[in-house]
């Protein structure tokens, strides 16, 4: 089982790596860069699970490009989009975790006089990827996360009106972030399943930097991956047996 975990920034990757390394090994190699693209990757080997943690950049386009580059250079079993994001209150409070049962491109479409049309409705593609249901459910149970759709946006929500609009279109949504759908598109192009996990640093709504809890969210992300490692290894073992 080999998993690629894609984060946007180094702080998220550091939290993931810390969660996957409960007892740091001084002999563990430093992060390396991919031979193409200049992306930073950290490798962790766990029982039954090899993990590469990739810093891919902010936004769906950067995430898709970085993920596609990594997938072209090595064989993987699973791709995971991970990091912090905004939570839809009250279902996903600050410091909580959300595991995606759907990875949704929430603003990929068109505005019309009659309202928003998704790219699906326009006939130009898809606006959602579904992680393996059993894996997502087990991941949510192991980490104590909310199992709900995670929205991918290119512009972070900063007003009550925008939050209300997204909630009306996606009433079950648990969180929003900026990379999941890009990661999922790259994974799908390689025929690989995808999972997304987000730690909530702020509420989706009016932008209030003073209310953000980025440190708490990064700590929750690390704790989540401490619990998630065995789940990924177990699922990967089952997946390989049925191939």
Q: What is the pLDDT of residues 71-103, one digit of tens each?
A: 998 999 999 999 999 999 999 999 999 999 999
Domain that includes residue 223, residue range: 2-241
- Indicate whether this model's pTM tops 0.75: yes
Report the alpha-carbon distance of residue 113 to residue 45 in Å, rounded: 53
- For the chain, the domain total comes to 1
Report the alpha-carbon distance of residue 184 to residue 82 in Å, rounded: 12
Report the alpha-carbon distance of residue 115 to residue 135 in Å, rounded: 35
Q: What is the CATH number of the domain that holds 133?
A: 3.40.50.1580
Report the alpha-carbon distance of residue 174 to residue 143 in Å, rounded: 15
Asked whether the beta carbons of 220 and 96 are under 8 A apart, the reply is yes
Convert the pLDDT of each residue in 189-227 to its tens digit: 999 999 999 999 999 999 888 889 999 999 999 999 999
Continuous segment of H or E residues that includes residue 13: helix 10-19
């Amino acid at each position: 089982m080999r998993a690629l975990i894609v984060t946007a920034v180094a702080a998220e990757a550091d939290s993931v790596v810390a969660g996957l390394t409960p007892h740091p090994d001084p002999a563990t190699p430093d992060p390396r860069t991919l031979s193409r693209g200049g992306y930073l990757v950290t490798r962790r080997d766990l029982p039954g699970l090899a993990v590469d943690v990739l810093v891919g950049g902010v936004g769906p386009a950067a995430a898709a490009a970085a993920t596609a580059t990594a997938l072209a250079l090595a064989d993987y079993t699973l791709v995971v989009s991970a990091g912090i994001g905004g939570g839809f209150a009250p279902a996903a409070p600050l410091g909580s975790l959300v595991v995606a049962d759907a990875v949704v491109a929430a603003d990929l479409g068109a505005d019309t006089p009659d309202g928003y049309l998704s790219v699906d409705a326009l006939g130009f593609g898809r606006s959602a990827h579904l992680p393996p249901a059993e894996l997502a459910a087990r991941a949510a149970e192991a980490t104590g996360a909310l199992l709900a759709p995670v929205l991918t946006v290119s512009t972070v929500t900063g007003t009550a009106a925008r939050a209300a609009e997204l909630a009306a279109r996606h009433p079950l949504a648990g969180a929003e972030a900026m990379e999941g759908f890009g990661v999922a598109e790259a994974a799908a192009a390689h025929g690989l399943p995808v999972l997304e996990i987000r730690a909530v640093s702020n509420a989706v709504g009016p932008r209030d930097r003073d209310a953000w809890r980025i440190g708490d969210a990064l700590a929750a992300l690390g704790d989540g991956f401490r619990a998630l490692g065995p789940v990924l290894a177990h699922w990967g073992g089952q997946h390989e047996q049925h191939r």
